[in-house]
């Protein structure tokens, strides 16, 4: 499959944006789960 340079450039930017978003989500997750009450609220769902 052939892709133009413009398509490739936009795909790279999109993947970079996605990577940044995932890093941000991971950071928020760790921050929220560091709160014992939130962590307990989530873990209780799996008991």
The residues that touch other proteins, with contacts defined as CB under 8 A, are: 1-6, 8-22, 24-26, 28-29, 31-32, 38, 41-43, 45-46
Distance, CA of 47 to CA of 37 (rounded, Å): 15
Distance, CA of 23 to CA of 18 (rounded, Å): 9
Tell the smallest beta-carbon distance from residue 9 to other proteins (Å).
5
Contacts of 32 (CB under 8 A, 6+ apart): 38, 39
Tell the smallest beta-carbon distance from residue 36 to other proteins (Å).
15
Nearer to other proteins, 19 or 36 (CB): 19
């Amino acid at each position: 499959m052939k892709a133009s340079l413009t398509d490739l450039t936009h795909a790279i930017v999109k993947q970079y944006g996605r990577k940044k978003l995932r890093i941000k989500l991971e950071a928020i997750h760790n921050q929220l789960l560091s709160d014992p009450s939130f962590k307990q609220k989530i873990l209780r769902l799996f008991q």
